[in-house]
Amino acid sequence: MPTPAEKTVASRTKLISKSTFNNYDACLNPYVGCEFGCSYCYVRFFIKDPNKEWGEFVRVRMHMEDKLPKELQKGYLRFDDGTETYTDPETGEIKKRKKKKDFLINETRLVIGTMTDPYQPAEKKYKITRKALEILTDPKKPQFAKVGIFTRSPLVLNDLDLIKKLPNARVHFTITPYPPEVLRVIEPYASKTSRRWQVVQKLKEAGIRTHVNISPVMPIISEGFTEEFVNRLVDLDIDEYFVDPMQPYSDSFEAFKESCKSLEGVEWHQIEQTMLDKEKYLDWKMDFFTEWNEIRRKIQHKVPEQLPIWSDHENKVWIDMRTGQQMSKRKYGDDL
Protein backbone atom coordinates (compact mmCIF):
# COMPACT_ATOMS: atom_id res chain seq x y z
CA MET A 1 0.00 0.00 0.00
CA PRO A 2 1.48 3.43 -0.96
CA THR A 3 2.08 6.25 1.49
CA PRO A 4 -0.98 8.46 2.05
CA ALA A 5 -1.01 11.62 -0.04
CA GLU A 6 0.37 14.86 1.37
CA LYS A 7 -2.48 17.21 2.32
CA THR A 8 -2.06 20.97 1.93
CA VAL A 9 -4.44 23.92 1.76
CA ALA A 10 -5.47 24.91 -1.76
CA SER A 11 -5.21 28.51 -2.90
CA ARG A 12 -8.38 30.59 -2.64
CA THR A 13 -9.26 30.39 -6.30
CA LYS A 14 -12.70 30.42 -7.90
CA LEU A 15 -14.67 27.28 -7.00
CA ILE A 16 -17.19 27.01 -9.84
CA SER A 17 -15.86 26.96 -13.38
CA LYS A 18 -17.09 26.13 -16.85
CA SER A 19 -17.53 22.41 -17.39
CA THR A 20 -15.93 20.49 -20.24
CA PHE A 21 -18.37 17.60 -19.66
CA ASN A 22 -20.88 17.64 -22.49
CA ASN A 23 -24.06 17.35 -20.46
CA TYR A 24 -23.12 19.83 -17.72
CA ASP A 25 -22.53 23.58 -17.88
CA ALA A 26 -20.55 24.19 -14.70
CA CYS A 27 -18.30 22.14 -12.43
CA LEU A 28 -17.15 22.16 -8.83
CA ASN A 29 -14.14 20.27 -7.45
CA PRO A 30 -13.80 20.22 -3.65
CA TYR A 31 -10.16 19.08 -3.82
CA VAL A 32 -7.18 19.61 -6.12
CA GLY A 33 -5.49 16.30 -6.85
CA CYS A 34 -6.82 12.89 -5.90
CA GLU A 35 -5.48 10.36 -3.43
CA PHE A 36 -6.96 7.46 -5.37
CA GLY A 37 -4.17 8.14 -7.87
CA CYS A 38 -5.62 5.85 -10.55
CA SER A 39 -2.85 5.24 -13.04
CA TYR A 40 -5.14 5.68 -16.04
CA CYS A 41 -6.67 8.98 -14.88
CA TYR A 42 -6.74 11.71 -17.53
CA VAL A 43 -6.44 14.45 -14.88
CA ARG A 44 -2.72 13.73 -14.45
CA PHE A 45 -2.28 15.71 -17.69
CA PHE A 46 -3.73 18.87 -16.17
CA ILE A 47 -2.90 18.93 -12.46
CA LYS A 48 0.71 18.46 -11.48
CA ASP A 49 2.96 19.06 -8.49
CA PRO A 50 6.67 19.89 -8.88
CA ASN A 51 7.67 17.46 -6.13
CA LYS A 52 4.94 14.81 -6.06
CA GLU A 53 3.57 12.24 -8.46
CA TRP A 54 -0.12 12.04 -9.29
CA GLY A 55 -1.92 10.51 -6.30
CA GLU A 56 0.70 11.73 -3.81
CA PHE A 57 -0.76 15.19 -3.22
CA VAL A 58 -4.16 16.60 -2.31
CA ARG A 59 -4.88 20.30 -1.92
CA VAL A 60 -7.93 20.89 0.25
CA ARG A 61 -10.27 23.74 -0.65
CA MET A 62 -10.74 24.95 2.89
CA HIS A 63 -12.37 28.14 1.58
CA MET A 64 -15.48 26.24 0.40
CA GLU A 65 -17.69 27.40 3.28
CA ASP A 66 -16.68 31.03 2.90
CA LYS A 67 -16.39 31.42 -0.88
CA LEU A 68 -19.08 29.20 -2.42
CA PRO A 69 -22.02 31.25 -1.04
CA LYS A 70 -20.41 34.39 -2.48
CA GLU A 71 -20.16 32.79 -5.93
CA LEU A 72 -23.85 31.88 -5.80
CA GLN A 73 -25.26 35.09 -4.38
CA LYS A 74 -25.67 36.94 -7.70
CA GLY A 75 -27.86 34.19 -9.10
CA TYR A 76 -25.75 33.78 -12.21
CA LEU A 77 -22.28 32.56 -13.24
CA ARG A 78 -20.02 34.24 -15.78
CA PHE A 79 -17.65 32.11 -17.85
CA ASP A 80 -15.33 32.65 -20.81
CA ASP A 81 -17.13 31.71 -24.00
CA GLY A 82 -14.62 31.77 -26.84
CA THR A 83 -13.18 34.94 -28.36
CA GLU A 84 -14.47 37.88 -30.34
CA THR A 85 -12.85 40.50 -32.54
CA TYR A 86 -13.17 44.22 -31.91
CA THR A 87 -11.72 47.45 -33.20
CA ASP A 88 -9.43 49.34 -30.86
CA PRO A 89 -11.07 52.80 -30.62
CA GLU A 90 -7.70 54.53 -30.28
CA THR A 91 -5.65 52.79 -32.97
CA GLY A 92 -8.29 51.32 -35.26
CA GLU A 93 -6.46 48.01 -34.98
CA ILE A 94 -8.48 44.78 -35.13
CA LYS A 95 -7.90 42.79 -31.94
CA LYS A 96 -9.24 39.73 -30.17
CA ARG A 97 -10.56 39.45 -26.64
CA LYS A 98 -12.26 36.82 -24.53
CA LYS A 99 -16.01 36.69 -24.82
CA LYS A 100 -18.08 36.21 -21.68
CA LYS A 101 -21.39 34.44 -21.21
CA ASP A 102 -23.72 34.56 -18.22
CA PHE A 103 -25.52 31.44 -16.97
CA LEU A 104 -28.53 31.81 -14.70
CA ILE A 105 -27.97 29.35 -11.86
CA ASN A 106 -31.54 28.05 -12.00
CA GLU A 107 -30.95 27.09 -15.64
CA THR A 108 -27.44 25.69 -15.11
CA ARG A 109 -26.43 22.04 -14.82
CA LEU A 110 -23.68 21.54 -12.22
CA VAL A 111 -21.35 18.55 -11.92
CA ILE A 112 -19.18 17.79 -8.90
CA GLY A 113 -15.96 15.84 -9.36
CA THR A 114 -14.62 16.39 -12.89
CA MET A 115 -10.98 16.74 -11.84
CA THR A 116 -10.92 14.91 -8.52
CA ASP A 117 -13.00 12.36 -6.67
CA PRO A 118 -15.09 14.38 -4.19
CA TYR A 119 -15.26 11.31 -1.91
CA GLN A 120 -11.59 10.38 -1.85
CA PRO A 121 -10.11 9.41 1.56
CA ALA A 122 -9.46 13.05 2.53
CA GLU A 123 -13.23 13.61 2.71
CA LYS A 124 -13.38 11.48 5.87
CA LYS A 125 -11.47 14.16 7.73
CA TYR A 126 -12.17 17.44 5.94
CA LYS A 127 -15.77 16.95 4.74
CA ILE A 128 -15.36 19.66 2.11
CA THR A 129 -17.78 17.92 -0.26
CA ARG A 130 -20.40 17.71 2.46
CA LYS A 131 -19.96 21.40 3.18
CA ALA A 132 -20.51 22.15 -0.52
CA LEU A 133 -23.70 20.06 -0.53
CA GLU A 134 -24.99 21.84 2.57
CA ILE A 135 -24.60 25.15 0.76
CA LEU A 136 -26.05 23.86 -2.52
CA THR A 137 -29.16 22.52 -0.75
CA ASP A 138 -29.73 25.64 1.34
CA PRO A 139 -33.19 26.86 0.23
CA LYS A 140 -32.05 30.45 0.75
CA LYS A 141 -29.41 30.03 -1.97
CA PRO A 142 -30.05 29.91 -5.76
CA GLN A 143 -30.72 26.33 -6.86
CA PHE A 144 -29.15 24.68 -9.91
CA ALA A 145 -31.30 22.97 -12.55
CA LYS A 146 -29.45 19.66 -12.14
CA VAL A 147 -26.58 18.41 -10.00
CA GLY A 148 -24.49 15.34 -10.76
CA ILE A 149 -21.70 13.76 -8.74
CA PHE A 150 -18.88 11.62 -10.15
CA THR A 151 -17.21 9.19 -7.74
CA ARG A 152 -16.02 5.63 -7.16
CA SER A 153 -16.13 5.81 -3.37
CA PRO A 154 -18.51 4.33 -0.77
CA LEU A 155 -18.15 7.58 1.20
CA VAL A 156 -20.85 9.00 -1.06
CA LEU A 157 -23.36 7.07 1.07
CA ASN A 158 -22.55 9.33 4.04
CA ASP A 159 -24.25 12.21 2.23
CA LEU A 160 -27.44 10.54 1.04
CA ASP A 161 -29.48 12.92 3.19
CA LEU A 162 -28.14 15.91 1.26
CA ILE A 163 -27.90 14.33 -2.18
CA LYS A 164 -31.61 13.53 -2.06
CA LYS A 165 -32.28 17.27 -1.61
CA LEU A 166 -30.30 18.31 -4.70
CA PRO A 167 -32.36 19.33 -7.73
CA ASN A 168 -32.55 16.52 -10.31
CA ALA A 169 -29.73 14.73 -8.50
CA ARG A 170 -27.84 11.85 -10.04
CA VAL A 171 -24.68 9.97 -9.05
CA HIS A 172 -22.28 8.75 -11.72
CA PHE A 173 -20.48 5.83 -10.08
CA THR A 174 -17.43 4.14 -11.61
CA ILE A 175 -16.94 0.36 -11.53
CA THR A 176 -13.90 -0.93 -13.38
CA PRO A 177 -14.02 -4.41 -14.97
CA TYR A 178 -10.57 -5.72 -14.02
CA PRO A 179 -9.29 -8.63 -11.91
CA PRO A 180 -8.66 -7.71 -8.25
CA GLU A 181 -4.88 -8.07 -8.58
CA VAL A 182 -4.89 -5.42 -11.32
CA LEU A 183 -7.17 -3.08 -9.40
CA ARG A 184 -4.87 -3.27 -6.38
CA VAL A 185 -1.96 -1.79 -8.31
CA ILE A 186 -3.73 0.77 -10.51
CA GLU A 187 -6.11 2.22 -7.89
CA PRO A 188 -4.79 1.00 -4.52
CA TYR A 189 -7.00 3.21 -2.35
CA ALA A 190 -10.26 2.50 -4.17
CA SER A 191 -12.79 0.03 -2.82
CA LYS A 192 -13.18 -3.52 -4.09
CA THR A 193 -15.57 -4.24 -6.95
CA SER A 194 -18.01 -6.13 -4.71
CA ARG A 195 -18.24 -3.11 -2.40
CA ARG A 196 -18.92 -0.80 -5.33
CA TRP A 197 -21.87 -2.90 -6.44
CA GLN A 198 -23.22 -2.64 -2.89
CA VAL A 199 -22.92 1.14 -3.10
CA VAL A 200 -24.90 1.47 -6.31
CA GLN A 201 -27.56 -0.81 -4.83
CA LYS A 202 -27.87 1.51 -1.82
CA LEU A 203 -28.01 4.56 -4.10
CA LYS A 204 -30.89 3.00 -6.01
CA GLU A 205 -32.66 2.00 -2.80
CA ALA A 206 -32.38 5.60 -1.65
CA GLY A 207 -34.25 6.70 -4.76
CA ILE A 208 -31.29 8.48 -6.36
CA ARG A 209 -30.88 8.37 -10.13
CA THR A 210 -27.85 6.14 -10.58
CA HIS A 211 -25.53 6.04 -13.54
CA VAL A 212 -22.67 3.51 -13.67
CA ASN A 213 -19.47 4.17 -15.61
CA ILE A 214 -18.00 0.86 -16.78
CA SER A 215 -14.64 2.42 -17.28
CA PRO A 216 -12.09 2.07 -18.65
CA VAL A 217 -12.54 -1.21 -20.54
CA MET A 218 -9.53 -2.61 -22.35
CA PRO A 219 -8.41 -5.75 -24.20
CA ILE A 220 -7.88 -9.01 -22.33
CA ILE A 221 -8.17 -7.51 -18.83
CA SER A 222 -11.86 -6.61 -19.22
CA GLU A 223 -12.98 -9.48 -21.39
CA GLY A 224 -14.04 -11.92 -18.69
CA PHE A 225 -16.50 -9.60 -16.96
CA THR A 226 -19.10 -8.82 -19.61
CA GLU A 227 -21.83 -11.28 -18.62
CA GLU A 228 -21.40 -10.62 -14.89
CA PHE A 229 -21.58 -6.85 -15.34
CA VAL A 230 -24.57 -6.88 -17.71
CA ASN A 231 -26.49 -9.08 -15.29
CA ARG A 232 -25.65 -6.94 -12.26
CA LEU A 233 -26.66 -3.74 -14.07
CA VAL A 234 -30.00 -5.29 -14.94
CA ASP A 235 -30.60 -6.91 -11.54
CA LEU A 236 -29.95 -3.60 -9.77
CA ASP A 237 -32.12 -1.71 -12.27
CA ILE A 238 -29.42 0.89 -12.87
CA ASP A 239 -30.92 3.86 -14.70
CA GLU A 240 -28.17 4.18 -17.30
CA TYR A 241 -24.58 3.16 -17.84
CA PHE A 242 -21.59 3.87 -20.05
CA VAL A 243 -19.26 1.27 -21.50
CA ASP A 244 -16.12 3.34 -21.98
CA PRO A 245 -13.00 1.96 -23.74
CA MET A 246 -9.68 3.30 -22.47
CA GLN A 247 -7.92 5.87 -24.62
CA PRO A 248 -4.17 5.13 -24.69
CA TYR A 249 -2.99 8.67 -23.91
CA SER A 250 0.77 8.61 -23.40
CA ASP A 251 1.06 9.59 -19.72
CA SER A 252 -1.82 7.50 -18.40
CA PHE A 253 -1.04 4.54 -20.65
CA GLU A 254 2.60 4.45 -19.54
CA ALA A 255 1.59 4.76 -15.88
CA PHE A 256 -0.89 1.91 -16.30
CA LYS A 257 1.75 -0.20 -18.03
CA GLU A 258 4.31 0.50 -15.31
CA SER A 259 1.83 -0.56 -12.62
CA CYS A 260 0.83 -3.81 -14.34
CA LYS A 261 3.96 -5.03 -16.10
CA SER A 262 5.22 -7.04 -13.13
CA LEU A 263 1.92 -8.81 -12.51
CA GLU A 264 1.85 -12.48 -13.37
CA GLY A 265 -0.79 -13.50 -15.87
CA VAL A 266 -1.27 -10.02 -17.35
CA GLU A 267 -0.41 -10.31 -21.03
CA TRP A 268 0.76 -6.73 -21.33
CA HIS A 269 2.65 -7.19 -24.58
CA GLN A 270 -0.51 -8.37 -26.32
CA ILE A 271 -2.60 -5.60 -24.74
CA GLU A 272 -0.10 -2.99 -25.91
CA GLN A 273 0.06 -4.42 -29.42
CA THR A 274 -3.69 -4.16 -29.74
CA MET A 275 -4.23 -0.75 -28.16
CA LEU A 276 -1.41 1.07 -29.93
CA ASP A 277 -2.43 -0.20 -33.36
CA LYS A 278 -5.42 1.92 -34.38
CA GLU A 279 -6.97 -0.67 -36.70
CA LYS A 280 -6.49 -3.55 -34.26
CA TYR A 281 -7.97 -1.52 -31.42
CA LEU A 282 -10.98 -0.52 -33.52
CA ASP A 283 -11.54 -4.19 -34.36
CA TRP A 284 -11.29 -5.17 -30.71
CA LYS A 285 -13.76 -2.48 -29.66
CA MET A 286 -16.23 -3.58 -32.29
CA ASP A 287 -15.95 -7.18 -31.07
CA PHE A 288 -16.38 -6.10 -27.45
CA PHE A 289 -19.37 -3.91 -28.33
CA THR A 290 -20.97 -6.83 -30.19
CA GLU A 291 -20.41 -9.26 -27.33
CA TRP A 292 -21.82 -6.82 -24.77
CA ASN A 293 -24.85 -6.11 -26.91
CA GLU A 294 -25.62 -9.77 -27.53
CA ILE A 295 -25.67 -10.49 -23.80
CA ARG A 296 -27.62 -7.31 -23.07
CA ARG A 297 -30.35 -8.07 -25.61
CA LYS A 298 -31.20 -11.35 -23.87
CA ILE A 299 -32.20 -9.65 -20.61
CA GLN A 300 -32.90 -6.00 -21.47
CA HIS A 301 -36.63 -6.78 -21.38
CA LYS A 302 -36.38 -6.96 -17.59
CA VAL A 303 -35.49 -3.25 -17.47
CA PRO A 304 -36.83 -1.77 -20.72
CA GLU A 305 -36.18 1.82 -19.60
CA GLN A 306 -32.51 1.18 -18.79
CA LEU A 307 -30.23 3.21 -21.09
CA PRO A 308 -26.97 1.47 -22.13
CA ILE A 309 -24.46 3.84 -23.77
CA TRP A 310 -21.30 3.12 -25.75
CA SER A 311 -18.59 5.81 -25.82
CA ASP A 312 -17.29 6.07 -29.38
CA HIS A 313 -14.12 8.12 -28.90
CA GLU A 314 -12.97 7.89 -32.51
CA ASN A 315 -16.07 9.70 -33.74
CA LYS A 316 -16.59 11.63 -30.51
CA VAL A 317 -20.17 10.44 -30.11
CA TRP A 318 -22.29 8.44 -27.70
CA ILE A 319 -24.30 5.52 -29.01
CA ASP A 320 -27.57 4.26 -27.55
CA MET A 321 -26.78 0.53 -27.59
CA ARG A 322 -30.46 -0.37 -27.84
CA THR A 323 -30.91 1.35 -31.19
CA GLY A 324 -27.40 1.96 -32.48
CA GLN A 325 -28.33 5.63 -32.86
CA GLN A 326 -26.15 8.59 -31.96
CA MET A 327 -27.28 10.47 -28.85
CA SER A 328 -27.34 14.18 -28.11
CA LYS A 329 -24.40 14.75 -25.77
CA ARG A 330 -25.52 18.20 -24.75
CA LYS A 331 -29.02 17.16 -23.72
CA TYR A 332 -28.28 13.71 -22.32
CA GLY A 333 -29.98 13.25 -18.97
CA ASP A 334 -31.96 16.49 -19.02
CA ASP A 335 -35.22 14.74 -19.85
CA LEU A 336 -34.87 12.07 -17.16
What are the tens digits of pLDDT across the range 264-316? 888 888 999 999 999 999 999 999 999 999 999 999 999 999 999 999 887 88
Instruction: For residue 42, name the pLDDT band (cuts at 50, 70, 90).
Output: confident
Q: What is the pLDDT of residue 87?
A: 87
- Answer yes or no: is pLDDT of 2 > 80: no
Residue 320 has pLDDT above 50, yes or no: yes
* pLDDT number for residue 328: 84
Q: Which of 39-48, 133-142, 189-198, 271-280 has the lowest mean pLDDT?
A: 39-48
User: 118 and 110 in contact (C-beta within 8 Å)?
Assistant: no
Q: How confident is the model at residue 1 (pLDDT cuts 50, 70, 90)?
A: low
Q: Which residue has the higher pLDDT, 333 or 321?
A: 321
Q: Examine the pLDDT at 182 and tell me if it is beyond 90.
A: yes
User: What is the predicted pLDDT for the residue at 334?
Assistant: 78
- Whole-Å CA distances, 245 to 27, 217, 223, 284: 24, 5, 12, 10
150 part of a folded domain: yes
Percentage of the chain surpassing pLDDT 70? Answer: 99
- Is residue 336 included in any domain, yes or no? no
Number of structural domains (the chain) is 1
Q: Is the pLDDT of residue 177 over 60?
A: yes
Cα–Cα distance list, 193 to 72, 198, 199, 252, 274 (Å): 37, 9, 10, 21, 26
Q: Is 1 domain-assigned?
A: no
Determine, yes or no, domain membership for 335: no
Rounded average pLDDT over 112-120: 97
Mean pLDDT, range 95-100, rounded to an integer = 88
- Within a domain: residue 331? no
Residue 336 has pLDDT above 80, yes or no: no
For 95, the domain range is 6-326
Mean pLDDT, range 155-165, rounded to an integer? 98
Tens-digit pLDDT profile for residues 207-255? 999 999 999 999 999 999 999 999 999 999 999 999 999 988 777 788 8
Phi, psi torsion values for 108, nearest 5 degrees: -100, 140
**178 within domain boundaries:** yes
Query: The CATH number of the domain where 148 resides is what?
Result: 3.80.30.30
Look at residue 57 and tell me whether its pLDDT is greater than 90. Answer: yes
Is 189 part of a structural domain of the chain? yes
pLDDT value, residue 313: 81
Q: Do the domain assignments include residue 332?
A: no
In order, the DSSP letters of 167-194 are TT-EEEEEE--S-HHHHHHHSTTSPPHH
Give 190 or 330, the one with higher predicted confidence: 190
Q: What pLDDT score was predicted for residue 277?
A: 94
Residue-level pLDDT at 259: 84
pLDDT average, residue stretch 58-64: 98
